[in-house]
């Protein structure tokens, strides 16, 4: 019945810190939309952003910053990703390490975003 994920929502404490991390470091695009709404775009996907205390309804039952654990497949190499993270002042918590992605083996780096969400940045192994 489910074909693909269209978007997900992150609740964030600091919109500017979130934009810096996801746009300046990870290369996503920030786009406001509708009446006071905002999203991060990458490829054919988006992450809608809710500001803590100003969440839109309906929302998750427990909508809090720092409660997500997300894995993104990156373009390029894991070494290039590590260099970009270092350049952006983002410490790597773990990696590179081998993991299992949705369609095969991946090599991953783990970092935290400004809200302390766990972010896994990965490439599929050939």
C-beta neighbour count of 63 within 10 angstroms = 15
DSSP state of 53: T
Report the SS3 class of residue 24. Answer: helix
The active-site residue out of 35, 44, 55, 120 is 120
Residue 45, token pair as written in the block: 């996907």
120 is catalytic: yes
Q: Which of 119, 87, 116 shows the shortest CA–CA distance to 108?
A: 119
Annotated catalytic residues are: 120
């Amino acid at each position: 019945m489910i074909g693909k994920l269209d978007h997900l929502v992150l609740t964030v404490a600091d919109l500017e810190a979130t934009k810096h991390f996801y746009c300046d470091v990870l290369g996503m695009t920030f786009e406001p939309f509708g009446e006071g709404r905002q999203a991060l775009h990458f490829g054919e996907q988006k992450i809608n952003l809710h500001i803590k205390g100003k969440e839109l309804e309906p929302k998750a039952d427990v909508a809090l910053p720092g409660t997500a654990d997300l894995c993104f497949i990156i373009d390029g190499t894991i070494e290039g990703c590590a260099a970009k993270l270092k350049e952006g002042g983002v410490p790597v918590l773990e990696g590179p390490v081998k993991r299992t992605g949705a369609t095969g083996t991946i090599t991953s780096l783990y970092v935290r975003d400004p809200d302390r969400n766990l972010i896994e940045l990965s490439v599929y192994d050939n």
